[in-house]
Amino acid sequence: MATILISACPHDPSTKAGYYYLKQAAKVLARHKHKVVLLRSAILSKFHKALLDYDPDLVILNGHGGAKGVTGCGDNVILGVPSWDADLGLKIGHGNPEWMRGRIVYLFTCHAGKELAYQLLINGARSVAAFREAFIFLCENEDGVNHEAHNFFDAALQLPFMLAGGFTFGEGCQAIQETFIEYRTEAEKKGDKLRAKYLHHNLVNFVAMGDRHATL
């Protein structure tokens, strides 16, 4: 049994959608007998305490992401490197990439695949997945909870689903790519050009690095 830590703080339309789908995903992960901890109101101190208390094997961060950092609640950067983050519009005073040492990390946010993902790997993370640019999804309401958003989140969450089922990090990343392609093909067949465009955007901006054989 592994321990999985998820940070997802619902405070605006995009993070409300992330929280909804990750909360549903947590139930699926728990069915595989893993211990799943969901942080709904993460600030730096709470995130650090959760890492110390649970020592997770897999960390999934959903929030607003930039090249240098990822937020929890509001503008609270919970993981990052010290620098000005133009994507977030925030100055990160103290870095903490070493907190991910020995862990599999999924930066399920925008932009974190530009630099932060590489910094985590340099500082000892086992494997890291992220998106270089914005993670884009369609939705019909402010909560982002409807069939319009489902395909985008279902594809993106294949990595933790696969890891929870005993597959490798590499196989999980391949599942993400294959599922994006499957949904993109369906959208193209239906003539839904906008959906196909954004599914393709997420596909080509997904990055994975580190030990592709890593498992929970």
Residue ranges of E strands in 25-114:
35-39, 58-62, 69-71, 77-80, 83-85, 90-92, 104-107
215 inside domain: no
The pLDDT, as a whole number, for residue 146 is 62
33 inside domain: yes
pLDDT digit of tens for each residue in the chain (216 aa)? 999 999 999 989 889 999 999 999 999 999 999 999 999 999 999 999 999 999 999 999 999 999 999 999 989 999 999 999 999 999 999 999 999 999 999 999 999 999 999 999 999 999 999 999 999 999 866 555 567 899 999 999 999 999 999 999 999 999 999 999 999 999 999 999 999 999 999 999 999 999 999 999
Q: Could you say which DSSP state residue 168 is in?
A: -
8 inside domain: yes
Please tell me whether residue 129 adopts helix, strand or coil conformation: strand
**Residue 90 bridge partners (DSSP):** 85
Domain interval for residue 106: 3-134+144-210
**Total domains, the chain:** 1
55 inside domain: yes
The pLDDT, as a whole number, for residue 148 is 82
The pLDDT, as a whole number, for residue 139 is 80
27 inside domain: yes
Q: What is the CATH number of the domain that holds 55?
A: 3.40.50.1460
Please tell me whether residue 172 adopts helix, strand or coil conformation: helix
63 inside domain: yes
175 inside domain: yes
139 inside domain: no
